[in-house]
A = this chain, B = another copy of it.
Amino acid sequence: MAGRPKIFDKHEVVNKAADLFWSKGYEAASTEELLAAMGIGKGSFYLAFPEGKRELFEKALDQFNNGALQRLYAALEKGGEPVEAIRRFFLDMAVAPKEEHGKGCFMGNTVAALSNIDDELKQKAVQRLKQLEQLFYNAISKAKQQGTLKTGEDTATLARYLLTLWNGLNITRRMYTDPKVLRPLIELQLKILH
């Protein structure tokens, strides 16, 4: 295959762009900043992403993976106790670095920002959040089967409870970053899993 060699990996630059979108949001992240963050020029960019910024954002939404979420996924895969994995997932938020508090949830931010602006992009973010809900659903199902979670509450509703907790904490953590505030708050929220 002939041609001048590429100087970047598409997957990698999308990750870098996603990180900036996560911090600043779709509108506030300018193409210039994005190019700087990705380390490529306009020519390369518009060749790789002919639709420009919007296409880049779409790819970012598809490919984004929150570190904390990946750990939860891994813990559940590994067959650890589901309720304990969920507890840890949420309690870890209380001691996250301040910069992470400020960023919140990329998908939640997107849903909030684009609900009345760009329905297609919003729906993509919604879809990713529903994946998280599904993760909760599976974990709760498993815990119920195992008998580690004994509650009369509906599994689907419990999953949405946790989803709503996630959504809410990602706003509240911008108001309170102190673990002394966040920890007891999260503990209280998780009492439902007793």
The residues of A with any CB-CB pair to B shorter than 8 Å are 23-25, 27-28, 102-104, 108-109, 111-113, 115-117, 122, 126, 129-130, 153-154, 157-158, 160-161, 163-172, 174-176, 181, 184-185, 188-189, 191-192
Contact yes or no, B160 A185, CB < 8 A: yes
10 of the cross-chain contacts (CB-CB < 8 Å) are A27-B27, A28-B113, A104-B115, A108-B112, A112-B112, A130-B175, A157-B184, A160-B181, A164-B169, A167-B169
- Partner among B111, B115, B189 whose Cβ is within 8 Å of the Cβ of A164: B189
Contact yes or no, B171 A112, CB < 8 A: yes
| Interface majority SS (helix, strand, loop, mixed), chain A | helix
Contact yes or no, B115 A174, CB < 8 A: yes
Q: Give, as a whole number of angstroms, the nearest-CB distance from A166 to chain B.
A: 7
Contacts of A189 in B (CB 8 A): 161, 164
Copy total for this chain: 2
Contacts of A163 in B (CB 8 A): 168, 172, 175
Across the interface, name the chain B residue whose C-beta is closest to A171.
B167
CA distance A9 to B126 in the complex (A): 39
Contacts of A167 in B (CB 8 A): 167-172
Contact yes or no, A153 B188, CB < 8 A: yes
CA distance A27 to B24 in the complex (A): 11
Q: A109-B112, A116-B24 are in contact. Are A164 and B168 (CB under 8 A)?
A: yes
